[in-house]
Amino acid sequence: MPLTLVHDIINMKTQIPHTPLRVGIVGVGNIAERHAQGYLAIPELAQITAVADISPQIAQVKAAQWGVPVWYPSLDKLLASDVDVVDICLPHDLHVSAAKAAAQSRKHIYIEKPLARTARECIEIYQAVEQAGVFMMVGHNLLFNPLMTKAQALVTSGAVGQVFMIRGASYGWPPFRAGNFRLERAKSGGGVLIDTGVHILYLMRAMGGEARSVSATMSHALRSEMQGEDNALVHLQYANGALGEMAVSYSTKLSTYALGFPDGWDQRIEVYGTDGTLKVDLVRGTLQIFAEGAESHPILANWAVANKKLQGTTLFELPNVYFDSFKFAIHAFAQTLLSGGPSPVSVSDGYRVMQLVDAAYESAREGRYIHVSQG
């Protein structure tokens, strides 16, 4: 099947569910905790009414911890229950089957990034979701980090002028215990690129639009326990002529303990335009912008009161908001589903990002630029 365009908005054929949404989380390992805190913060919109995990012990413990009345040892049992929403926090290789099964059971879906292991799997998900007419949001959570929503508003309102270059990066050494799905290429779909590069790619897409070609080089430098790459450098040529560059690494040794990231973590986005430069440091919680004409820019002019102006540069500081992106994303999901709006991060968005990931892996294998189909 050719990788053809998938349309942008899923029209819900099913009824908008009642409020609060009854949410079932499947795969209650690491990241499910962040999702749970997101739902627990909005009981008027959504409540976790069941959880499921292949490990009954984990399911039972999490259900008790979050005050959830019911737990199941499988997705099938969760799908047979009366939940309105299935929140998929499973290893990457299970995304496609879980999303298809959830759609076929007429459940609305929140699914963790990456949407699937390949763009082709994303199309399978799209077809199931479209056929069932259910609502799906992909967990591109860093888009909901308040620094990134500000950055996006600034860039799209022209604060730095015409964007000609975007750089993104993520560095660290997250520890993976034996049995972690990220150690196996077949389960994760690759290495650091598909796991964390996806975050940086969707941020770079939000800033620069679609890319028309991709090139990449990758290495397996230090993490012998991982089958996939632990370093990747990716170049993008955007459809509008801008250039993009991304570096992602799981083999970087850093000291960010004092910032609340004991294992070392550093993530940045830089946007260069004809009128200025914007830089976001996600871990330190800063957004710095130099913009010619800042005084008359509708957003920047209002910032002048609350923020420091240092020789023409506006520095916006919002420390300790890194993990809030999950809460904001889940709030957006519940609110949009209940109001019948288009998905804040659609299946198409997940697919477009996975096209870039596919192209980067292909480029690294073949040593050439890969054209990205916009069809």
Site for ligand NAD contains 70 (CB under 6 A): no
Binding residue for ligand NAD, selected from 16, 41, 54, 299, defined by CB under 6 A:
54
Pairing of strands 308-310, 286-291: unpaired
Q: Binder to ligand NAD among 139, 197, 344, 350 (CB under 6 A)? A: 139
Please pick, from the candidates 24, 27, 276, 350, the single residue that binds ligand NAD as defined by CB under 6 A.
Answer: 27
Residue 21 is a binding residue for ligand NAD (CB under 6 A): no
Binding mask 192-221 for ligand NAD (x = CB under 6 A): ---x--------------------------
Rounded Cα gap, residues 256 and 174, in angstroms: 12
Compute the least distance from the CB of residue 369 to ligand NAD, in Å: 27
- Of 23, 50, 83, 90, the residue at the interface with ligand NAD (CB under 6 A) is 90
- CA dist., res. 31 & res. 318, Å (int): 23
**Options 11, 14, 15, 55; binder of ligand NAD; rule CB under 6 A:** 55
Residues 100, 107, 108, 113: which binds ligand NAD (CB under 6 A)? Answer: 113
Strand segments (E) across the chain: 21-26, 46-52, 70-72, 85-88, 108-112, 136-139, 163-172, 211-219, 231-238, 243-249, 265-273, 276-281, 286-291, 308-310, 313-317, 370-371
Looking at the Cβ atoms of 89 and 109, the one nearer to ligand NAD is 89
Position with the least CB separation from ligand NAD: 29
Q: Give the span between the Cα atoms of 254 and 159, in whole angstroms.
A: 32
Stretch that binds ligand NAD, among 50-58, 153-161, 351-359, 362-370 (CB under 6 A): 50-58
**Do 139 and 111 contact (CB within 8 A), yes or no?**
yes
Token pair recorded at residue 212:
């028309």
Considering only 3, 16, 22, 31, the residue that binds ligand NAD (CB under 6 A) is 31
Instruction: Output the six-digit token pair for 259.
Output: 């910032």
The count of chain residues that interact with ligand NAD, using the rule CB under 6 A, is: 24
Q: Does 324 bind ligand NAD (CB under 6 A)?
A: no
CB-CB contact of 273 with 161 (8 Å): yes
Helix, strand, coil % over all residues of the chain, rounded to 5: 35, 25, 35
Which residues have a Cβ under 8 Å from the Cβ of 25 and sit 6 or more positions away? Answer: 32, 35, 36, 48, 50, 51, 52, 86, 87, 89
Residue 285: helix, strand or coil by DSSP? coil
| Cα–Cα distance for residue pair 236/63, rounded to 1 Å | 43
Contact range with ligand NAD by CB under 6 A, out of 26-34, 128-136, 282-290, 340-348: 26-34
Rounded Cα distance between 47 and 25, Å, is: 11
Q: Are strands 70-72 and 163-172 parallel, antiparallel or unpaired?
A: unpaired
Cβ 249 to ligand NAD shortest distance, Å: 16
Q: Is 107 in the site for ligand NAD (CB under 6 A)?
A: no
78: contact with ligand NAD by CB under 6 A: no
If binding is defined by CB under 6 A, does position 26 make contact with ligand NAD? yes
Could you say whether residue 58 binds ligand NAD (CB under 6 A)?
yes
Report if residue 92 touches ligand NAD, rule: CB under 6 A. Answer: yes
Report if residue 112 touches ligand NAD, rule: CB under 6 A. yes
Q: How far is the CB of 252 from ligand NAD (least distance, A)?
A: 17
User: What's the min distance (Å) between Cβ of 176 and ligand NAD?
Assistant: 9
Output the six-digit token pair for 144: 């909901």
Neighbouring C-alpha atoms within 13 Å toward the C-beta of 108: 27
Residues that bind ligand NAD (CB under 6 A): 26-32, 52-55, 58, 75, 89-92, 94, 112-113, 139, 141, 181, 195
